[in-house]
Amino acid sequence: MDDSRPIFQQVADRISSDILAGTYGEEDQVPSTNEIALFHRINPATAGKGVNTLVTRGILYKRRGIGMFVATGARRILLEERQAQFVRDYVDPLVAEARAIGFTAEDALRVVGRRLGAATAAGEPRKEQS
Amino acid sequence: MTTAATPWGETSRVPADAGGTEAPAVVVRGLNRRFGKVRALRDVDLELAPGRIYGLVGRNGAGKTTLLSTLVGQVLPSSGSVELFGRRSLENPAVLARTVYVRDHQCYPDDMRVRHVLRAAGHAYLGWDEEFAQRLVADFRLSPKARCKKLSTGQRTALGIIVGLASRAELTILDEPYGGLDPVARGLFYDRLLEDFAEHPRTVIISTHLVDEIADLLNEVILLDDGVVTLHESEEQAREHAYRLAGAERDVERLLESTGAGERVSRRQSVGSMTMVVVAAPLDDATETLARELGLEVEPVSLQEVVAAMGTLSVTESTAQEGAL
Amino acid sequence: MSNATAEDRLVADGGGASGGRTLLAFRYYLSVPGRLLTGPGIVVVVCALSLVVGAVIVAASNAEAADVSSGLTYNQTVIWWGSIAPLAILCSAVGQGSTAMLGLGMTRRNVWWGAILYALAGAALTATTLVALIALERLTHGWFMGLSAIDIIYFGRGSLLLAWLIALGTFFGAQVVALFFTAIYLRTGAMGLTLSIVGASVLLVGALGLVIAAFSRAERDGATTTFVVGGELPGGLVPWVLGVVVLLALGGGWWIYRRASFR
C-alpha cells in the first residue's frame, strides 16, 4: 500500500486487476474483508470500504452468510471503465509528452502501433502493473 | 452472541448490541489535568465509538500517556469527566473490569515472573484466552520463567502486548506498544492484532509517535499537541490536512504567494532550483488548478508527514502568539 | 467463550462488585507463589539459627543452658525479620505493581484493601507458625536442650492465644504502617516520603520523651503510673496506643492512596 491514493481505493483496484487478469472468474468467491485486511495489514473497515465500492459498481455481490462473489458481467464493466480511464491516464499524458519531445502525430502513432503489434504477437495483452 | 451485518457488508461476530445504538466506548468532556504549572491536558473533548481502532499520535510530551491514564482513572482529572460505556469510570469496578491498559515500560514488582503476570491477568478477565496468550508467548519468544525485572525493553513491551490482546477487554489501551520491538516483532503485533480484532471486535486505542507503520491499521486518528486534541478524524480524512508541492522554486513561490498557502508551509527542501514544500492545509481546487497550470507536482503526504506538519505549525503559532502578547 | 455477551457482562458486573474485585487484587498479590510464606519461613529459620547460636554458646562457654536461655528470651531477631521482610515484599508489590493492577481494571479500593487482606493473611500465617514453634518448644522442654529460642518475653511467655495475638498484631501492624508510607510515596513522590518519615521520627522522639517524663514523674511521686503500664486498660496502654496508630495508618493510608495519580 502506498501513500499516493486512499487505501480503500487501492484495495478495490487490486481486486479489479485480479478479476481482469482472470485470477477470480465470474461467480468466483473473493477473499473476505478480514482476509484482505490481514493480507495488506490494514483495518478491516478500510478493506470493507474497498470491497463496497466494487459492490456499488456491480462488480461484486454479496451472498448472505457466505461471502463476496464476482458478479456476472464484472469483467465487461471493468473493461469499459478501464477503457474510459485509458484515454485520461495514458493517452493524454502520451500526447503531452509527444509534443514536448517534438514527435509528430505520425511519429507517435507509428511507435504506439509498433508496440501494440509486438504485444499482440506475444499473444498476451500487457497486464497493468499494480 | 449473534451474527450481525457489519457496516462493510460482511457478516462477522460482534456483540449483539453493536452498532449505532450502543453507548460510545469513551466520552470525555472538558478534561483538564495540571501537574503543578504544567497543563498536561487542556479542555479535551473526545468521543470514541465501539469496535474501532484508534491511533493516538503526537510528539513526546504532548500528553498522550496522561490522556490514556486519565481515561481509566489512573491519573485523576483536575476538571472534566470521563465516561466509559456510558458510565463514570473513576473507581467504578463494573466499568473498569471491561478495560485493559498497558503502559509504556509497564512496571511489575521485582519478584514477578512472566508467568505470574499472565496468571494474574487471566484471573482478571472473563474473556481471557489462555491459548492465545501462550501462542503469543511463543511468537514473541518470551520465557515464562523470566523475571519481569530482567526483561529487555522489547520483551517487556511484548509482555504488555500479550496481556493487552489476550484479555480481549472491550476497551483495550496500549501505550506505545513499540518500545524496543524489532520490525519482525512489530509485524507480528500488527498481524495478531488484526486477526484477533477481526474475530473479536473491540475498541482499541494505540498511542505512538511511529505513525506511518500503523496508519493503515487505524479507523481513526487522534492528534494530541501540547495537551490539546488538534485533530480527530478518519485516517483518510486526516491525510487531507496536508499536501506536498514540488517544482521550480520560482513557480512554487508564486503559487504559495498567490494562494496564501505560504503561511502554512511546514517543511521546505531545495535542490538546485527545485523546491519541495509541505503545506499543512487541505488542498483546494483553486490551488490544484493553479499548480497544474504552473506544472507543479501536487501529491498527498503520509500520515506521519501530516502529524509532523501540524505539530510544527501549532508550535510556531503558539510561539508567535506568545511573542505578540 | 471470549466475546463478552450481555450475560457475560452481568456476570462481570456482579463479579465486578467491589468486594469481588478486592479478592481479585488479593489473588494478584498471591500470583507469585511462596510470597505469603516469607514470614513463616523467616520464623522457622530464625528459630533454628537461635538454637544453633544458643547451643554453640553453651558448648563454648560452659555456661548453664538456663542462663543462655534467659539471655535468648530477650532476642528480638524474629520480630524484626518477621516484620521487615514481608513488609518489604508487600510494599514493592504495591509500589511497583499498582499501575499493573489498575491496568487490569481493578480500582484503587481493590488494590489497597487487597494489600491489607494480604498483610492480614501473611501475619496470621506467620503468627500461627510462631505459636506452633512456641508450643513445640514447650513440649520438648527447649528442644531437648533446655534452650528458649522462640518463646521470648515479647510474646508473653504465657497463654498461646496471647502470643498469637501479639504476633499477629506486630506483623500485621508493621505491614500496615509500611503501606501507609508506600501510599505517601505513591501520592507525593520521594520528597513527600522523606518529609513524612522525618515527621514521623519527630513524633516518635516526642512520644519517647513523654514516656520518659512519665517514668521520672512516677519515680519522683513514688506512685504506680497508669501511663506506663496502663493499669486501667486490659493489656496495658502500649498495645492500645499501637493499635490506634495502626488503625490510623490503615485509614489514613487509604485516604492518601485513593487520591494518588499514577503518571
User: Is the residue at B2 inside a domain?
Assistant: no
Instruction: For residue C73, give the C-alpha cell.
Output: 528470651
B125 and B56 housed in the same domain: yes
Neighbours of chain C (3+ CB pairs under 8 A): B
In the block, cell 504477437 appears at: A121
- Where in the sequence is the domain holding B118, given as residue range(s)? 20-234
Domain final residue pick, B203, B234, B265: B234
Strands (E), B49-86: 53-57, 79-84
| Residues of chain B above pLDDT 90, percent | 62
B155 and B190 housed in the same domain: yes
Domain final residue pick, B193, B210, B234: B234
B200 and B258 housed in the same domain: no
Confidence of residue C218 (pLDDT cuts 50, 70, 90): low
Chain B residues whose beta carbon lies within 8 Å of the beta carbon of residue C99: 74, 103, 106-107
B287 and B142 housed in the same domain: no
Instruction: For residue B171, give the C-alpha cell.
Output: 476497551
B208 and B252 housed in the same domain: no
Q: Answer whether B198 sits within 8 Å of A65, measured CB to CB.
A: no
B124 and B222 housed in the same domain: yes
Domain final residue pick, B215, B234, B253: B234
B101 and B122 housed in the same domain: yes
Residue C226 reports pLDDT greater than 70: no
* Distance between CA atoms of residues B251 and C39, nearest Å: 79
SS3 at position B23? coil
Instruction: Render pLDDT for C6-63 as a digit per residue (tens, 0 to 9).
Output: 434 434 444 445 568 889 999 999 999 889 999 999 999 999 999 998 889 888 887 7
| CA-based nearest residue in chain A for residue B244 | A4
State residue B200 phi and psi, 5-degree precision: -130, 80
Instruction: For residue A88, give the C-alpha cell.
Output: 485520461
Q: Quick check: B124 and B164 in contact, CB under 8 A? A: no
Is residue B271 less than 8 Å (CB to CB) from chain C? no
B169 and B187 housed in the same domain: yes
Beta carbons within 10 angstroms of residue B284's beta carbon = 11
Is residue C224 less than 8 Å (CB to CB) from chain B? no
User: Is the residue at B8 inside a domain?
Assistant: no
Q: How far is C217 from chain B (nearest CA, A)?
A: 49
pTM above 0.95, yes or no: no
Q: Quick check: B145 and C33 in contact, CB under 8 A? A: no
Q: Answer whether A3 sits within 8 Å of B300, measured CB to CB.
A: yes
B198 and B302 housed in the same domain: no
B230 and B244 housed in the same domain: no
Q: Quick check: B148 and B140 in contact, CB under 8 A? A: no
CATH number of the domain to which B47 belongs:
3.40.50.300
Q: Quick check: B198 and A34 in contact, CB under 8 A? A: yes
Residue A16 — left, alpha, or beta (φ > 0 → left; ψ -120 to 50 → alpha)?
Answer: alpha
Q: Where are the alpha helices (DSSP H) in B108-265?
A: 114-124, 130-139, 153-166, 183-199, 211-215, 235-239, 249-259
Q: Quick check: B266 and B312 in contact, CB under 8 A? A: yes
Residue C263 reports pLDDT greater than 90: no
User: What is the domain partition of chain C in residue ranges?
Assistant: 6-257
Question: Would you state the pLDDT for residue B323?
Answer: 41
Is the pLDDT higher at B216 or at A1? B216
User: Is the residue at B257 inside a domain?
Assistant: yes
Using alpha carbons, list the distances in angstroms from residue B288 to A114, B283, C128, C135: 36, 7, 83, 93
ipTM of this predicted complex?
A: 0.85
Total domains in the fold of chain B: 2
Give the DSSP letter of residue A125: P
* Distance between CA atoms of residues C123 and C167, nearest Å: 8
Residue C177 reports pLDDT greater than 50: yes
B203 and B304 housed in the same domain: no
Dihedral sign for Cα atoms in the order C195, C200, C201, C202: positive
B196 and B271 housed in the same domain: no
State residue B30 phi and psi, 5-degree precision: 55, 40
* Distance between CA atoms of residues C145 and C50, nearest Å: 12
Q: Quick check: B241 and B282 in contact, CB under 8 A? A: yes
Q: Which residues contact B56 (CB under 8 A, 6 or more apart)?
A: B64, B67, B68, B205, B206, B207, B208, B222, B224
Residue B204 reports pLDDT greater than 90: yes
* Distance between CA atoms of residues B157 and B176, nearest Å: 8
User: Is the residue at B5 inside a domain?
Assistant: no
Instruction: For residue B170, give the C-alpha cell.
Output: 472491550
Q: Answer whether A38 sits within 8 Å of B191, measured CB to CB.
A: yes
Q: Quick check: B126 and C11 in contact, CB under 8 A? A: yes
